[in-house]
């Protein structure tokens, strides 16, 4: 992840990829339309003026627009990015964790924090958005917060930080600003977003997980599973996402969150930082010729690709997964077309192929 500063000392970024931003050529006095979501970023939203427009890549799957209000010394960034999965509950949990650990802005007064769901004006589902804001004690800022909402397979986030405004005033300004991001009528309705509680029982790992023997053709089967999730068998478009009840495993850290469905003992999701990239970990039983033991696979997804890594014979810990991804080359990769429907996974389909026990 790269940090972006609009004012010296103002940390206002949630970009998902460790890449240098590329400026997008656009007239600062004209509304800019995102080609994949049709979101329109106006040259001005209330008292905020758009001062930058950048792409962390080349395909417009990870775009950030910077706004500032000089009168109140307030900065805001708007992020349009594809997340894996498209689940506001998970990513608001990660964004709050990162915001609360942001030492450059200052210490977040957790007693002042206000967090609530809200209903996006685009019709993306009742209470499917989430807003969080609070007071900051430090020399760089007085208040900070974010809002997050889903839109047809994408996430839209606004991070706002102010030197002058109180937390309450920033909350009102943030709400008004989000309403100023123009979106077309949503085609997909999402479930209500909510806070995520810790899992009642932590995941169990059996020491160092051995690596499994497998045939590389297994990657073909895994990719078929991945690209067909979220599709209806009758070919009709998906119009609603089912609610998923997640809990946060105690193995979570500031850098990543570990989430699982309560009924799963041998599968989990690692959400890295707060920008939409994740790794699924769990067992899938394939044809015995491809995978004799029912191996535990790692599948990493970020805004524009899916990577498969060599499997384990037992459930690996998050530390083992992170080490494997840092040290090893993936044995297969699928690059996703920016506007491809097959890339739009719903949270309810995540880990559906993993065995529960």
Cα dist. 54→15, 220, 246, 304 in Å? Answer: 11, 35, 33, 17
- pLDDT value at 292 more than 60: no
pLDDT in tens, 40-62: 999 999 999 999 999 988 889 99
Which residues are within 8 A (CB) of 221 and not within 5 positions of it... i.e. 6 or more apart? 286, 287, 290
CA-to-CA distance for 39 and 124, rounded, in angstroms? 13
pLDDT of 214 reads 60
For the chain, where are the E strands, in sequence order? 22-23, 32-33, 40-41, 44-45, 48-55, 62-69, 74-81, 107-108, 114-118, 129-137, 143-151, 154-162, 246-248, 256-261, 267-272, 278-283, 296-302, 305-312, 332-335
* Better-predicted residue by pLDDT, 283 or 143: 143
Segment 310-335 shows an average pLDDT of 87
Range with lowest mean pLDDT among 86-90, 151-155, 183-187, 285-289: 285-289
pLDDT of 303 reads 81
Segment 172-187 shows an average pLDDT of 97
pLDDT of 310 reads 84
Range with lowest mean pLDDT among 76-90, 91-105, 141-155, 288-302: 288-302
CATH of domain 22-179: 3.40.1000
Does residue 76 contact residue 160 with C-beta atoms inside 8 Å?
Answer: yes
Sketch the domain layout of the chain as residue ranges: 22-179, 218-349
Backbone angles phi, psi at 248, to 5 degrees: -100, 125
pLDDT in tens, 76-97: 999 999 998 999 999 999 999 9
pLDDT of 332 reads 76
With tokens 């389909």, the residue in question is 349
pLDDT in tens, 191-245: 999 999 999 989 988 878 878 766 555 555 555 555 555 555 455 677 889 899 9
pTM: 0.85
pLDDT of 282 reads 87
What value does the mean pLDDT of the chain take? Answer: 83
- pLDDT value at 14 more than 70: no
């Amino acid at each position: 992840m790269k940090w972006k500063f609009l004012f010296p000392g103002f940390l206002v970024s949630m970009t998902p990829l460790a890449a240098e931003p590329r400026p997008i050529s656009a007239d600062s006095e004209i509304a800019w339309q995102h080609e994949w979501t049709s979101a329109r970023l106006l040259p001005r939203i209330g008292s905020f003026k758009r001062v930058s427009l950048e792409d962390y890549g080349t395909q417009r799957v990870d775009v950030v627009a910077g706004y500032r209000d000089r009168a109140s010394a307030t900065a805001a960034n708007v992020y349009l990015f594809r997340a894996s999965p498209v689940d506001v509950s998970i990513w608001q949990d990660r964004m709050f964790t990162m915001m609360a650990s942001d030492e450059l802005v200052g210490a977040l007064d957790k007693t002042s924090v206000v967090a609530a769901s809200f209903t996006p004006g685009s019709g993306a589902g009742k209470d499917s958005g989430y807003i969080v804001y609070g007071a900051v004690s430090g020399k760089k800022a007085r208040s900070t917060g974010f809002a997050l909402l889903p839109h047809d397979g994408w996430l839209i986030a606004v991070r706002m930080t102010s030197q002058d405004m109180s937390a309450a005033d920033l909350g009102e300004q943030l709400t008004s600003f989000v309403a100023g991001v123009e979106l077309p009528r949503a085609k997909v309705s999402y479930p209500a977003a909510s806070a995520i509680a810790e899992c009642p029982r932590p995941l169990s790992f059996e020491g160092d997980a051995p690596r499994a023997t497998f045939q590389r053709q297994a990657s073909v089967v895994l990719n078929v599973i991945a690209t067909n999730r979220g599709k209806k068998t009758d070919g009709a478009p998906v119009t609603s996402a089912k609610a998923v009840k997640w809990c946060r495993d105690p193995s979570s850290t500031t850098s990543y969150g570990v989430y699982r469905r309560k009924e799963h003992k041998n599968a989990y999701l690692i959400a890295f930082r707060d920008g939409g990239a994740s790794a699924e970990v769990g067992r899938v039983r394939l044809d015995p010729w491809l995978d004799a033991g029912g191996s535990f696979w790692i599948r990493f997804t970020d805004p524009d690709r899916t990577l498969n890594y060599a499997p384990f014979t037992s459930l690996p810990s998050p530390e083992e997964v992170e080490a494997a991804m840092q040290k090893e080359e993936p044995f297969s990769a699928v690059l996703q077309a920016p506007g491809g429907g097959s890339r739009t996974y719903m949270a309810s389909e995540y880990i559906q192929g993993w065995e529960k026990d």
